[in-house]
Amino acid sequence: MSDPGFEARDSAIAGLGLFATRSFTRGERIAPYQGRTTTTLPSHHDATHQVYALEIIPGVWLDGSPTTNPGRYANHSCAPNAELIWESQSAEAWIVAADPIQAGQEVTFDYGFSLAESLFHPCRCGAAECVGRIIAAPLRPQLRRHLRFSRPRD
């Protein structure tokens, strides 16, 4: 069997992570994000209470919970090296390199969580620009302002 170019293994970010076993160039497909589509938000699927659902278009989710879905192991990062692309013509989702990725590097993407979702999901990516919550990049300045003004005063 040939090397698919990735493997799941322990991650410093969270649980298992998706790691490149070879180098990828910008724009290259790394791994599929597989599962069934549903119009109902999937609930927790395993003992860890993880949900692997992605809203691919408003009101339609891709349930990536099957352990055969390699994309489910990609962790969030505030400085991601990949992105999740939904290809509507083929109805497929792919994790695609946003930057060159070297063998051994963890593959990460921005989960795109809303401000409300971020309140329940701490981020441990370790990026310099991390705000401590998993939240979509365009919303991070808003969260930073909120955190700055909500700190206890002397």
**Per-residue pLDDT reduced to its tens digit, 47-62:** 555 667 888 888 888 8
Q: pTM for the complete prediction?
A: 0.82
Other C-beta atoms lying within 10 Å of the C-beta of residue 62:
25
> Any residues with CB less than 8 A from the CB of 62 and at least 6 apart, and which?
33, 35, 36, 37, 53, 54, 56, 86, 93
Neighbours of 92 (CB within 10 A): 14
**In the chain, where are the structural domains located?**
6-112
Share of the chain above pLDDT 90, in %: 29
Strands 29-33 and 36-38: unpaired
Gap between the Cα atoms of 6 and 97, Å rounded: 12
CATH architecture of 6-112: Beta Complex (2.170)
Consecutive sets of 10 residues in the chain, 154 residues long: mean pLDDT of each? 81 90 94 86 59 80 84 91 87 91 94 79 88 84 68 52
pLDDT value of residue 137: 84
